[in-house]
Structure 1
């Protein structure tokens, strides 16, 4: 029998077909909840989900009756998605996530139930300007966290770094409960700076193509010393006054922006890390290399682990399957 996992975010939706824990086929559409926000309805998102499900099945000859589960995670379970599932409140165990899964039939997509996995939010009451930094939410990273815990046999307490357009920093305790998360706009910030500021001309509107430790560290150090805004302008100085390459300056920018993430991590009242907190770095290779390098250079954390590429493949889908493979899995309509 087979399982289909759906991972839908702000701009992309992916369906993956699994058999016995192995990926058989995967298909993607560049449509996400951003389209729902723009259109005022979720018709395009539903159509994209229907298409990718049909494609992974038809291309492999799998029949509907051969599918055990269709599991959905990410922003597809938000108010801009297809079925809204309330966030669970930290601390959250894998059992809590399993028990929180909601089953719904969405006939416009497929004549089979879809199992929607809840997101998680920090346990903060009476949010105000005084404590808003403590509050955070996630949809999708919770299944990546579960998948990572199972893939690498991770034992907390630990901090998991999941860099991306919106980087997530997830804390787990000794019982591997998710105790909190913190989000930054690092990836989106780099994109804006790269395309929509005076720095765009210096970096030729391009992201890092190859990680350069020296320039990333220099950007990190200057940002920690003089702040992000000043550091960003010095990229233009490098462009006009030195023979630095586009890739080197892009690395300088990357190091500067990630410096602000390390400040956020170390000062987050929710994550509550200390020097002895184990740090596990995931994400795409360049961001993973950059974060790991800067963590070592910063010399605050004493235990740092960079996750290998093979352990990161199809992580959200793998984590989703881990949840329904639990003995305590049941149904909530």
Structure 2
């Protein structure tokens, strides 16, 4: 029996899974991430939060720390506002490059045994300035999810993986399944801030779309691409004040606006190479996956096959990918 702990720390949340022979036997999540370090200037809350999430997971399975054979960490845990900063490796990078880049660190306040961290991946841009900064980008955490998706779906690139979240990622892979580069937007954070902390909060009841309304979603996307995101956002208030559209309709309009702006990024960013016929694979939360799939299928630019990752596969994707990297490193027989 082999027990493996996988830690996935993001901007706002930390998820820990306990695996036994490729099966998750316990899982916990807590609302703690590197945003807490960035805001407070201290790693204390993050350390305590990751530690608590680990202990919660072990308690669910009645497993002790001493019984754990391997601990793997991915995501923002290895960033400059994480628990141990690990440099990104340059693209192109595949499974073997990620495996060679893993580093074992000991953080006694988090766990008694070493944690093997998977490095992030960055685009390669020289002499960065205003003229080329848009071509630069980086990821932490998405690289293991990409490896997990490739393995579980049996993908052979080229392909574009779309991963909406607090920071949405668009990751380009080549015919050898190497990560060629990525581009990031603040889509999730923008949606949260606009919904909760602007004049639109009342028009949205400080809540997101409950289900997709295709008409409103597509209208919001079209508006953002025509008159800009700022003006389109204000129109949510207009829809509230002067029309019969309901709260969920208005939330769909805003969601469409933000994701529509993201599709502009996907088409035009110099950080990645998106061709109209490139197959697209969409991960993420159910409503975000559904919304993006609908927008892409209704956009004449995109002609490649669209695949939506199932909720079941999505649930433990980061941990699954980290285990694939660790196996390539030789840490798992």
- TM-score per shorter chain, which class? over 0.9
Q: What TM-score results when the alignment is normalised by the length of structure 2?
A: 0.95
Partner of 2:315: 313
Q: Offset of 1:65 from its aligned partner?
A: 4.0
Deviation, 1:225, is 2.2
Q: Deviations over 1:275-299 (max 9, x none)?
A: 1111111111111011000001112
- Matches of 2:196 and 2:57, distance apart in 1: 35
Q: Deviations over 1:197-245 (max 9, x none)?
A: 2222222221101111111011112222222222222222221221100
Separation (CA, whole Å) in 2 of partners of 1:28 and 1:275 = 37
1:228–1:256 Cα contact (<8 Å) kept: yes
1:312 CA drift (Å): 1.0
Q: 1:40 to 1:257 in 2, by over 3 A?
A: closer
Measured after TM superposition, the shift of residue 330 of structure 1 is: 6.2
Q: Which residue of 2 aligns with 1:236?
A: 237
Deviation at 1:11, TM superposition (A): 2.0
- Classify the secondary structure of the residue corresponding to 1:27: strand
User: What are the ranges of 5 or more consecutive residues in structure 2 without an aligned counterpart?
Assistant: none
* RMSD of aligned residue pairs (Cα, Å): 1.6
Q: What are the equivalent positions in structure 2 for 1:168-183 lying under 5 Å apart?
A: 168-183=169-184
CA 1:39–1:233: 2 relative to 1, 3 Å = closer
Contact 2:9–2:33 under 8 Å retained in 1: yes
Contact 1:99/1:329 (CA < 8 Å) preserved in 2?
no
Whether 1:325 aligns to 2:296 is no
Aligned mates of 2:200, 2:56 — CA distance in 1: 41
Residues 1:96 and 2:107 aligned together:
no
- Tell me the equivalent position of 1:163: 164
Cα–Cα, structure 1 residues 260 and 65, in superposed 2: closer, same or farther, change >3 Å? same
- C-alpha distance 107-192 of structure 1, shift in aligned 2 (>3 A): closer
Local SS of the residue matching 1:277: coil
Aligned pair count reads 330
User: What is the rounded CA distance, in whole Å, between the counterparts of 2:209 and 2:112 in structure 1?
Assistant: 44
CA distance in 2, matches of 1:321, 1:225: 44
Which ranges in structure 1 are unaligned for 5 or more consecutive residues?
A: none
The runs of at least 4 consecutive aligned structure 1 residues that moved more than 6 Å come to: none
Q: How far does the alpha carbon of each residue in 1:173-219 deviate from its partner, in whole angstroms, 9 at most, with x for none?
A: 00000000000111111122212222222222211011111110111
Q: State how 1:250-269 maps to structure 2 within 5 Å.
A: 250-269=251-270
TM-score, normalising length: structure 1 = 0.95
Equivalent residue number for residue 188 of structure 1: 189
